[in-house]
Structure 1
Amino acid sequence: MTDSQLDVQIEETLENGQKLTNNKEIIAYLAEKFPLCFILEGEAKPLKIGLFQDLAEALKDDERVSKTQLRHALRQYTSNWRYLHGCREGAERVDLYGNPVGLLEAEHVAHAAQQLAEAKAKFAEKRKADLAAKKAQQKRQPRRQNNPKVPRKPKMELSAVDFATLSKGSAVKVKVGEQAKKGTVVEVLKDSARVELENGLVMNVNADRLFA
């Protein structure tokens, strides 16, 4: 399933009030319920410490999502690169309704920077490994061999036949398309002859298609 197909599925799930089943659906739902807290595009805002408890309380009667699902979705949201980028010096944490609740502490800024660096390094290693695997697979695949050229049959030498000299049993060549077939005259007619080809086929051939 592509990202666009998944986005459409999430929209339909939210509109139909169905129970949410994965982190992406839950995060989209939280952004719909608390748009000043959860950001889907652009840089995310650092969240209030203990926000999970506020979230669990706010959604305690919501049958579409459980506490366990909320915890998993929140963990994914706060480990996203966008969120870690937003956890920089001078940034303020926000509550569910976007209200500032204090500056991000230096140790939390450093921790977010470390997480971001590790995530990027891990991504780079995976990308490098995937690229190496792809190259190895390409090397293992046998190269396609060009179809060997079929040697052309040498063209048969053709020269005009003297129709007046033809008789039963005369050896002739009959032009068929771009090829010439060998044959034997079985009957001479007024301006054509009946010829039996090497394959046994007997055909009536006009004089202009008969050659010596």
Structure 2
Amino acid sequence: MDTQSELTGSKTIIAYLANQFPKCFTTEGEVKPLKIGIFQDIIDRLGDNIQLSKTKLRLALRVYTASWRYLYSVKEGASRIDLDGNVCEAVTNEQATHALELLKASKAKVKAQRETKNKEQLAPNSRTKKPAFNKSGLKKAKSNVKRDAANSNRQSKPELKLNKAVAENLQVGNSVKVVLGSKPVSAIISNIEKEHIKVKVSSGMELTVTIEHIYM
């Protein structure tokens, strides 16, 4: 690999490192924890032999050390290695705990992404569209509903059959219907003076009416 364009992707850079330092890096199988400060060791070792962006090298190392197989290797007491595979310092308890937390978080993220993808695949491709109403159409529809309801109420109410009262049959205390408007009102006869009949309606008000307004 002689040009910078060949070393732009993290996978390409990791493959290059595995080729240059086979006792330290690997692209498959078991890996070993890297020495602390391995980044600077790589820069010092490569020197001017190849044009490699430090930013992209750092990113590639981050990808390598964030992989599940690498995090599995970071256990308390495990030996870290340098570029030549030589044993360096051991992994501390704190470092091992941190690696385990990263591993759990990474697995949880992958699981959540998989569940979201499954839900999207099971979801219907399209939803039933609701019919659109303009304002005038909506008002007209509401008006029709009210009109139909009113007609239904009128049709459902039984007609009240009333018979005109006969003067000779009326007595004080009789329950009668008094019609002064569109609706009959229940009342009780409280006094009869010839053609004038005094009645008391349910509200307590007393009225004087003629026989024409009295129904049984």
1:141 Cα offset (Å): 5.9
Correspondence for 2:89 among 93, 97, 102: 102
Correspondence for 1:46 among 30, 33, 39: 33
Hey, what's the Cα distance between the residues in 2 that align with 1:100 and 1:119? 28
Aligned residue number for residue 52 of structure 2? 65
Hey, what's the Cα distance between the residues in 2 that align with 1:100 and 1:79? 21
Aligned residue number for residue 89 of structure 1? 76
Moved runs in structure 1, 4+ residues, more than 3 A? none
1:113 Cα offset (Å): 0.4
Mapped contact 2:76–2:95 kept (Cα < 8 A): no
Q: After TM superposition, list the pairs within 5 Å mapping 1:141-160 onto structure 2.
A: none
Question: TM-score with structure 2 length normalisation?
Answer: 0.55
* Structure 1 residues 52 and 134, CA gap change in structure 2 (3 angstroms): same
Mapped contact 1:87–1:104 kept (Cα < 8 A): yes
> Which ranges of structure 2 fall in alignment gaps of 5 or more residues?
128-216
Question: TM-score with structure 1 length normalisation?
Answer: 0.56
Aligned residue number for residue 196 of structure 2? none
Hey, what's the Cα distance between the residues in 1 that align with 2:111 and 2:41? 36
Q: Percent identity?
A: 46
Aligned residue number for residue 14 of structure 2? 27
Residue identity in the other structure for 2:37 = G
Residues paired across the two proteins, number: 125
Which has the larger Rg?
Answer: 2
**Secondary structure of 1:82's match?**
helix
Correspondence for 1:140 among 101, 118, 125: 125
